[in-house]
Structure 1
Amino acid sequence: MFTHVMFALSFAVSILISQVAVGLDMTDKQVLSDAAMNPKLDINQRIEAIKKLYPKQWASSELMMRRICIWDIAGRSGPIFTAAQDQKTELMKLGINVEMEAYTSESILAEDLKAGRCDAGFITGMKARTFNKFSGTIDSVGALPTLKHVKLLLKVLAHPKMASKFEKGRYTILGVVPAGAAYIFVNDRKIDSLTKAAGKRIAVLDYDVTQAKLVLKLGATPVPSSLVGAPNQFNNGAVDVLPAPLVAYGLMELYRGMEPNGGIINYPFSQATMQMVAIKDRFPTEVAQLVRESFYQGFDLIVKQLNLQTGEIPEHWWIEIPDKEKQDYEVMMQQARIELREA
C-alpha cells in the first residue's frame, strides 16, 4: 500500500524536472493548463505542458528539494515510513533530493505542515478533514459500505473536473488511498448493540467534536484521545469501546484489549483512508491532478497490500449482530453524517 503511495509521490515530483521533448506549440496559459489536465492526451504531452506553464519554477537544473512528512505510529521503523524510504533511491536517480521525516504524532505533523516545515504530509482521512472538508468526508461513518464503493468514488474524484474540490485555501490533496474498513472493538461481547453501549467509555479523536456528540447521544462517555493513544487506552482497559481500522488489530495488538471476553462487531461502520495533503504553491493544480490519477491507478495493488498487512482475524473474535441492530446503526450513522455536513 505505502510503496505505491510513495511511487505516486515520486512520479509527481519527477514530472516537474522531466526533460521529455514533445513538440507542443502552445503559449497561452489556459491552453497549456487544459492540455496538462486532459487525460486523453499522452502523458508526455501533459508533462511538457506543465513545464511550459511553469518555466521559471522548473527550468533550473538544480536538484529539487521536497520535505515529505509521513505519519507512522511506529515512527521510522514502521511500515509506512519504511516503504517511503525504499523509494528514496529511485527519487535520487531522478535527480530529486527528498527529505523524508517520520512522525508518530499526527497532530504535530499537521502543525508542521501548516507552518510550512513540510511540503506535503501523509495523514489519515479524518485528520485531512481539517485541511479539506470535501476529501475528509470520504471517511464519514456509513458513507461507503464496501471497498467497491470506495473505488467507484475515487474513480470519479480522479477526473480533472473534480480538481477544484481538492483545493482549499493554501492546501491541495495530492491523493487518497484506502486504509481498510473500520470496525468497533469491544472489551466485552455483551456490548453488541447501541443500547448496551450506554454507560460505557468510548474512545473518540480529540479533534473531532462530531464523534463526541455522537457518543453522548448513545448515553456513553466519550474519552478524547489520539490515534496512538486510543489503542493503548483500549489495551489498558481505560476505554471499553474502540472504533478502529481492521489493520490495527495486529499493528496495535488490539487482541490484548479484547482478552478474554471481548470481540469485534462484524459490521463495518466506515471505510478509512490515508490522504496526501500538500501546500498548493509547491504542487500546482496540474501536477496534483497527475498524482491523483496515479493514486487511483494503483488502487487494486494498494488493496492487495492492505489485505496482506491486515492478515487473518481469528474467527472467535467476531461478534455477529442481527439485521435489526444493523438498521439501528445505519440510522445513527445517517444522523452523524447530517451533523458533519452542517458542522
Structure 2
Amino acid sequence: MITSIATAQAVPKKMCVFDLLGANGPFFAQMKDYKTVALAWGVELELKPYTSERVAAEDFKAGLCDAVSFTGIRARQFNSFTGTLDAIGAMPSYDHLKSVITTISGKKAAKLMFSGPYEVVAIYPAGAGYMFVNDRSIDTVGELAGKRIAILDSDPAQVEMVNFIGGSPVSASIATMYSKFNNGSVDVTYGPAIVYEAMELYKGLEPNGGIIKFSLVQLTIQILIRKTDFPEGYGQKSREFALSQFDLGVEQIKKYENTIPAKMWISVPEVDVTGYLEVFRQSRIRLRDKGIYNGKMLKLMRMLRCKKDPQQPECTAADKE
C-alpha cells in the first residue's frame, strides 16, 4: 500500500545506466534496487541500459536522461572531486575507500557534490582494478616498459601513467580493451575481478599470463543527476543510502575475486611494493598539477592513508599531495 502511494506521488525521471553486460549485468541489477528505494524519495526512475559509457555520458549531457550511472573515471568530467576517487594507487584497500566515501557522504561535504548543474548523489564500490598481463614475468613496474598497454581513451590520467612507466599506450574503450587483450593486440589491460569471467579474460591470459595481485585503483560507480530536476533533499538521502550499501557491495566484489583460480594470481614481491606506491604518487602529483586530478580529494585520501599507516614514506615527504 505504501509503495503504491509513493509511486502515485513520484515524479517520473529517466536514468541512463552503464553496464558492460547491459540489462543483464550486476551494475544494472544494483540500479534496479536503487530505483525501488528512490520511490520513497519521490522519484520514479525509468532505467535505460547502455553498454557504452561514452554514449551514456553524451545522452546525459544532451538531456536525454535526467540521471546517469557510470564509472568514477567517466564522472570526472562532471565533478573532478568525486572523479578523483579513482586516482591511480590512491586507495590501497576497500577499507580505505569506505573511509573516504563515509567522509564525503555526510551533510558537511554536500557542497563538494555539486558542480555546475550536476550533483553526485551516490558512490558505490565497483572493485579494485588489477593488471591482467599475458606474461607472468611482468611483476614489477620496470617490466612494464615497452609493453603494449590498453588505456581508456576517455582518461588522460592513464595516458600519463603509461608514458611515465615507459609503456606503449593503446587507446581503447571499456567495450574494446578486453577484446584487444584476448586477441593479443595488447600485453596488459586492467579491470575489476568481475571482468575475468564476464569478458572471458582467461582466454587472453592463457597460456602464460596472470593477474597482478596489487590494487592499481579502487573503481567506483557514481550516480549523477541534474539537480534542478529532482526533489529538494534527494541527493543527501541518496548518498546516505549508497553508503549503507557499501559492505554489501564489497561482499559481492569479493565473491568475484574468489572465483578466479588461485594459479592466476601473481604476487608482487614485498620489496617492490614501495616502488609501485612511489611511482603512483608521483603520477598523481603530476596529474594534479595538470588539472586532471582534484587536489582537495588527493589531500583527503593522503590524510586517510597516513592515519591508517603513519609509517609510509609519503607521510613525511616534502612534496605531499
Return the TM-score normalized by structure 1.
Answer: 0.78
In the alignment, the residues of structure 2 paired with residue 115 and residue 223 of structure 1 have an alpha-carbon distance, to the nearest angstrom, of 29
Percent of residue pairs identical: 41
In the TM superposition, 1:91-240 aligns within 5 A as 97-240=44-187
- 1:307 paired with 2:254, answer yes
In the alignment, the residues of structure 1 paired with residue 201 and residue 74 of structure 2 have an alpha-carbon distance, to the nearest angstrom, of 22
Structure 1 residue 191: Cα displacement:
1.6
Unaligned runs of 5+ in 2: 292-321
Conserved? CA contact 1:248–1:310, under 8 Å: no
Match of 1:139, SS?
A: coil
Aligned-residue RMSD, C-alpha: 2.4
Structure 1 residue 245: Cα displacement:
1.4
Letter in 1 for 2:71: T
Quote the residue 2:20 is aligned against: 73
Pick one of 235, 246, 270 that aligns with 1:288. Answer: 235
Choose 101-110 or 282-291, whichever is displaced more: 282-291
The change in CA–CA distance for 1:213 and 1:63 in structure 2 (over 3 A counts) is closer
The change in CA–CA distance for 1:98 and 1:341 in structure 2 (over 3 A counts) is same
The change in CA–CA distance for 1:217 and 1:253 in structure 2 (over 3 A counts) is same
Quote the residue 1:336 is aligned against: 283
Deviations 1:190-227 (A, max 9, x none): 22222211111001110112211221122211011111
In the alignment, the residues of structure 2 paired with residue 117 and residue 105 of structure 1 have an alpha-carbon distance, to the nearest angstrom, of 15
Quote the residue 1:37 is aligned against: none
Match of 1:265, SS?
A: strand
Match of 1:138, SS?
A: coil
The change in CA–CA distance for 1:212 and 1:300 in structure 2 (over 3 A counts) is same
Choose 133-142 or 296-305, whichever is displaced more: 296-305
Return the TM-score normalized by structure 2.
Answer: 0.83
Quote the residue 1:246 is aligned against: 193
Match of 2:85, SS?
A: helix
In the alignment, the residues of structure 1 paired with residue 38 and residue 237 of structure 2 have an alpha-carbon distance, to the nearest angstrom, of 17
Deviations 1:4-28 (A, max 9, x none): xxxxxxxxxx9xx969xxxxxxxxx
In the alignment, the residues of structure 1 paired with residue 109 and residue 18 of structure 2 have an alpha-carbon distance, to the nearest angstrom, of 26
In the alignment, the residues of structure 2 paired with residue 295 and residue 212 of structure 1 have an alpha-carbon distance, to the nearest angstrom, of 31
Structure 1 residue 78: Cα displacement:
2.3
The change in CA–CA distance for 1:340 and 1:285 in structure 2 (over 3 A counts) is farther
Deviations 1:223-263 (A, max 9, x none): 11111111111111111011211222122111111100000
In the alignment, the residues of structure 1 paired with residue 178 and residue 79 of structure 2 have an alpha-carbon distance, to the nearest angstrom, of 26
Quote the residue 1:297 is aligned against: 244
In the alignment, the residues of structure 2 paired with residue 157 and residue 82 of structure 1 have an alpha-carbon distance, to the nearest angstrom, of 25
Deviations 1:11-68 (A, max 9, x none): xxx9xx969xxxxxxxxxxxxxxxxxxxxxxxxxxxxxxxxxxxxxxxxx76521101
Match of 1:143, SS?
A: coil
Match of 1:229, SS?
A: helix
Provide the aligned length of Structure 1 versus Structure 2. 287
The change in CA–CA distance for 1:117 and 1:273 in structure 2 (over 3 A counts) is same
Conserved? CA contact 1:210–1:339, under 8 Å: no
Choose 96-105 or 150-159, whichever is displaced more: 96-105
Pick one of 262, 268, 272 that aligns with 2:215. Answer: 268
Choose 295-304 or 99-108, whichever is displaced more: 295-304
Letter in 1 for 2:238: V
In the alignment, the residues of structure 2 paired with residue 292 and residue 93 of structure 1 have an alpha-carbon distance, to the nearest angstrom, of 14
Deviations 1:158-191 (A, max 9, x none): 1101001010011100110111111111001122
The change in CA–CA distance for 1:85 and 1:142 in structure 2 (over 3 A counts) is closer
Match of 2:259, SS?
A: coil
Structure 1 residue 285: Cα displacement:
6.1
Conserved? CA contact 1:163–1:285, under 8 Å: no
